[in-house]
Structure 1
Amino acid sequence: MLYAILCYNDERAVSRWTPEEDAACMERLGAVQSRMSEKGKLGPVVRLWNTDEAKTLRKSSGEPVVFDGPFAETKEQFLGFYVADCANMDEALDFARDLAKANPDGGSYEIRPLRLYNPSGLTE
């Protein structure tokens, strides 16, 4: 089954990392990713730009309205995600735990099963 591991953190704190701190974190995360990739269990990995680059399209009644920024103001922002092919939720949680150990900051990981509507090589 495919799982999305959604990454949340305070983007202001992450943005303050020096290029060396950022590169070191990405290297640690890369080591975790490579273990899943070598097993053929890692799909797309995405790191999002900061929320000041984001737009939100909101539709209620009538025409959609576009706003600058993220959907909601929160302490933690959605920073990126992984798609992993895991046997079950326990394996997905183990992957998320390894990612959390590789990331020196706080933050959280939300793990959710996926339903593919446009598959690209990975299967449910």
Structure 2
Amino acid sequence: MKYLCLVYLDNEHWSACPDEKCAVYAQGLLDSGHMLAAEPLHPVHTATTVRVRNGQLSVTDGPFAETKEMLAGFYLIDARDLNEAIQLASKIPPAQHGSIEVRPVRALDLPTAAAT
């Protein structure tokens, strides 16, 4: 099953974990067959939030919500169950400085094609 591990850090700890340490962990996930994708994000001040309400586009600089911890990056992993996903997420290096949200990925619920 696929799980998205969202890495959250506050401003104070944004750069606390060196890229090399994260790259080593990511390589281990790749070597073990658990890694599907991973990317760090630029700091939150570079974010742009897009909304469409009543057909009107609204573009705002910055994140959607003001929070203490901001989304810093993600790991998309393949794990047999939530317990394994939590174990893998607990070893993501920035977990020592912020938090990791583990969320199962779901497939789109699309109607099946009618038999012809």
Q: Shorter-chain TM-score category?
A: 0.7 to 0.9
| Deviation sequence 1:24-65 (CA, Å, 0-9, x none) | x32332332222211222011111111111110122223110
Structure with more strand by fraction: 2
Rg (Cα) greater in structure: 2
Check if 1:29 corresponds to 2:28.
no
Contact 1:28–1:103 (CA<8 Å) still a contact in 2?
no
Aligned Cα root-mean-square deviation (Å): 1.9
Counterpart amino acid of 1:52? H
Check if 1:72 corresponds to 2:71.
no
Partner of 1:38: 31
TM-score by length of 2: 0.81
Aligned residues, how many?
108
Tell me, in whole angstroms, the C-alpha distance in 2 between the residues paired with 1:62 and 1:103: 39
For structure 1, the residue ranges without an aligned partner over 5 or more in a row are 118-124
Check if 1:90 corresponds to 2:68.
no
Residue among 103, 108, 116 paired with 2:94: 103
Taking every aligned residue pair, what percent have the same amino acid on both sides? 32
For structure 2, the residue ranges without an aligned partner over 5 or more in a row are 109-116
Partner of 1:81: 74
Counterpart amino acid of 1:13? E
> Residue 116 of structure 1: CA displacement?
5.0
Tell me, in whole angstroms, the C-alpha distance in 2 between the residues paired with 1:27 and 1:62: 44
Structure with more helix by fraction: 1
Partner of 2:9: 9
Partner of 1:122: none
Tell me, in whole angstroms, the C-alpha distance in 2 between the residues paired with 1:85 and 1:115: 13
For residue 64 of structure 1, give the secondary structure of its aligned residue in structure 2: strand
> Residue 105 of structure 1: CA displacement?
4.9
